[in-house]
Amino acid sequence: MFDFDLFVIGAGSGGVRAARTSAGYGARVAIAEDRYMGGTCVNVGCVPKKLYTYAAHFSQDCSDSRGFGWTGEVPAFNWHVLRDNKSAEIERLNGIYDNLLSNSGVTVFNARAKIAGKNTVAVDGKTVTARYILIATGGWPFVPDFPGSDMVLTSNEIFDLPEFPERILVVGGGYIALEFAGIFAGLGASTTLSYRGEIPLKNFDKDIREKLFTESQRHISMRMNSNVSEIRKGDDGIVVAFEEGDPLTVDCVLYATGRNANTRELGLEKTRVKTGKNGAISVDEFFETDEPGIYAIGDVVGRAALTPVATAEGMVLASNLFKGTRKTLDYANIATAVFSHPNVGTVGLSEEGARDKYGAIVVYESEFRHLKHTLSGNPERTYMKIITDKATDRVIGMHMVGADAGEIIQGFSAAMQCGVTKAQLDSTIGIHPTAAEEFVTMRTARDG
Ligand code: NDP
């Protein structure tokens, strides 16, 4: 009756996973993408960002190596080599995504798709019908409107700068701002971070925010309670005026002030699909919009704008549509990392959130100098924190600022998902000497 069982709009992490999984269940699936295979994560997000983060760490590694006996010139950094090697790797990944889809039997349209009515999509000059339509069009950087805002860059452009900026201003206090400020500072740019609030990472644990702020100040000029009023071209670069304080001249301004749902020109006006804050599409717990048969997952829904969440949503939806299940996704205990310098890793509730939810909580914390830095001379401190529900001893939050925080927190998030208690952490034998072992050796509560 229909051309396809499922038509997916958007070949990012969520869309591709939903398409492949559905095809694996025997559904006839099509996917449309007019930009790049793999979406934000592969092309202008997680993957190139992590590659640039590795690049940025080498400068610290070089200076850390001195105390271990390494001598000689510090190697010079070449932006063009990094950028072009990154682009070649992304191109390789684009090809892999294309192959994964075709090998799963998914019909790929390298074209823009628009909903033309119930069960109908206009794509590549054709009209095709589908039993279900899935919107997985992701997000798009948001830049506030102000004089000169057309001169700023976003995370869409920053990876491919023609030349390395010797002076950069990053605006924002979230994931992207902290990560890119760390990257450019590490690569050798004079880096300033301007944030409108007191201290970045607003919804994170307060201690984590403060520790990262302290560490960041050693690499980045942190301009807090700061608001850009105007940007103009000057003789020696881009001149940024602030509502408070002196202007700043830089080579490049990166705005990382959040992302909105990418719903433009999707044909939503022809449907009953509703949108809310930042344009996010409203869906029920089964990812169905207000228009029966039209579903949405990933950043366009914005429940948690994270790649693994989008792929998990895609798999749940595919199972529900084509395997007859009625699954929902558990959004509790989603671990995340901010790949700042140093990294932040976090899972569960912040201390503030835990107090609000549970009342009586117990907090354990540890701050120390990493063994590596006893010889490197690097003053960086590592901070780790466990929060438990006093009544049950259950661990309800784990947070860390320090090297490899994301790698460490991932394993502990599995334990939390299994309901781990503090007593069970205490009965776990540590791996010595590691930073991670602190999470199983903290014994003294800070307060109750
Ligand atoms: P975030 O929502 O994390 O942060 C946006 C920041 O911009 C906040 O600090 C906010 O301030 C500030 N801001 C918002 N509006 C304005 C404005 N008009 N003027 C000045 N500042 C403003 O967004 P990002 O863009 O950093 O990242 C988007 C999402 O992508 C993240 O939330 C995350 O889900 C995902 N992501 C995840 C990564 C990871 O897992 N490592 C990496 C990168 C992105 P305030 O705090 O005051 O609201």
pLDDT digits (tens, 9 = 90+) for 371-430: 999 999 999 999 999 999 999 999 999 999 999 999 999 999 999 999 999 999 999 999
Match 């790949």 to its residue by tokens. 339
Give this prediction's pTM. 0.97
Q: What's the pLDDT tens digit per position in 300-349?
A: 998 999 999 999 999 999 999 999 999 999 999 999 999 999 999 999 99
Measured in Å, residue 91 CA sits from the centre of ligand 1 at 27
Q: Residue 127, SS3? A: strand
Contact 315, 321 (CB under 8 A): no
Measured in Å, residue 201 CA sits from the centre of ligand 1 at 8
Whole-number Cα distances in Å, 297 to 104, 197, 326: 20, 31, 16
CATH 3.50.50.60 residue ranges for the chain: 4-140+260-322, 149-257
**Is position 399 annotated as part of the catalytic site?**
no
Q: For atom 22 of ligand 1, which residue has the closest CA? A: 257
Helix (H) or strand (E) holding 31: strand 29-32
Which atom of ligand 1 lies nearest, measured to the CA of 175? 26
Measured in Å, residue 302 CA sits from the centre of ligand 1 at 12
Domain 336-440: which CATH number of 3.40.605.10, 3.40.50.970, 3.30.390.30, 1.10.260.30: 3.30.390.30
Is the peptide bond prior to 433 cis by the omega test (within 30 degrees of 0)? yes
Instruction: Evaluate the CA torsion angle 64, 379, 363, 433 in order and state its sign.
Output: positive
Phi, psi at 52, each rounded to 5°: -70, -30
Contact 290, 309 (CB under 8 A): no
**pLDDT range class, residue 448, cuts 50, 70, 90:** very low
| pLDDT given at position 212 | 98
Measured in Å, residue 197 CA sits from the centre of ligand 1 at 12
| Pocket flag, ligand 1, residue 180 (CB < 6 Å) | no
User: What does the alpha-carbon distance between residue 400 and residue 293 come to, in Å, rounded to a whole number?
Assistant: 42
| Pocket flag, ligand 1, residue 354 (CB < 6 Å) | no
Q: For atom 4 of ligand 1, which residue has the closest CA? A: 174
User: What does the alpha-carbon distance between residue 215 and residue 341 come to, in Å, rounded to a whole number?
Assistant: 8
CATH 3.30.390.30 residue ranges for the chain: 336-440
Q: Edge-to-edge strand order for the sheet containing 248-250?
A: 228-234, 237-242, 248-250
User: What does the alpha-carbon distance between residue 336 and residue 233 come to, in Å, rounded to a whole number?
Assistant: 38
Q: What's the pLDDT tens digit per position in 251-293?
A: 999 999 999 999 999 999 999 999 999 999 999 999 999 999 9
Which atom of ligand 1 lies nearest, measured to the CA of 46? 42
- Pairing relation of β-strands 294-296 and 248-250? unpaired
| Pocket flag, ligand 1, residue 401 (CB < 6 Å) | no
Contact 213, 221 (CB under 8 A): no
CA 369 to chain centre: 27
Residue 59 has pLDDT above 50, yes or no: yes
| Pocket flag, ligand 1, residue 192 (CB < 6 Å) | no
Residues 6+ apart with CB under 8 A from 186: 53, 55, 56, 57, 58, 59, 60, 219, 341
Beta bridge partners of 344: 338, 401
CA 402 to chain centre: 18
DSSP E strands in 118-236: the ranges are 120-123, 126-135, 139-141, 167-171, 190-194, 221-223, 228-234
Q: Average the pLDDT over 148-170 and give the result.
A: 98
C-alpha dihedral over 401, 204, 153, 50, to 10 degrees?
Answer: 40
**pLDDT range class, residue 74, cuts 50, 70, 90:** confident
Count of CA atoms in the C-beta half-sphere (13 A) of 378: 26
| Pocket flag, ligand 1, residue 338 (CB < 6 Å) | yes
| Pocket flag, ligand 1, residue 340 (CB < 6 Å) | no
- Mean pLDDT for the chain overall: 97
Q: For atom 23 of ligand 1, which residue has the closest CA? A: 258
Q: What's the pLDDT tens digit per position in 115-153?
A: 999 899 999 999 999 999 999 999 999 999 999 999 999
Q: For atom 41 of ligand 1, which residue has the closest CA? A: 338
Q: What's the pLDDT tens digit per position in 190-203?
A: 999 999 999 999 99
Measured in Å, residue 305 CA sits from the centre of ligand 1 at 10
Q: For atom 29 of ligand 1, which residue has the closest CA? A: 305
* CATH 1.10.3450.40 is right for the domain spanning 149-257: no
| Pocket flag, ligand 1, residue 337 (CB < 6 Å) | yes
| Pocket flag, ligand 1, residue 306 (CB < 6 Å) | yes
The total number of residues shown for the chain amounts to 448
Phi, psi at 282, each rounded to 5°: -80, 130
Measured in Å, residue 40 CA sits from the centre of ligand 1 at 15
Measured in Å, residue 259 CA sits from the centre of ligand 1 at 7
Whole-number Cα distances in Å, 65 to 109, 182, 329, 376: 50, 20, 45, 6
CATH superfamily to which 4-140+260-322 belongs: FAD/NAD(P)-binding domain (3.50.50.60)
Phi, psi at 193, each rounded to 5°: -115, 125
| Pocket flag, ligand 1, residue 144 (CB < 6 Å) | yes
DSSP E strands in 243-360: the ranges are 248-250, 252-255, 259-261, 294-296, 336-338, 344-348
| Pocket flag, ligand 1, residue 174 (CB < 6 Å) | yes
Q: For atom 2 of ligand 1, which residue has the closest CA? A: 258
From 137, 116, 138, select the one nearest 125 (Cα to Cα). Answer: 116
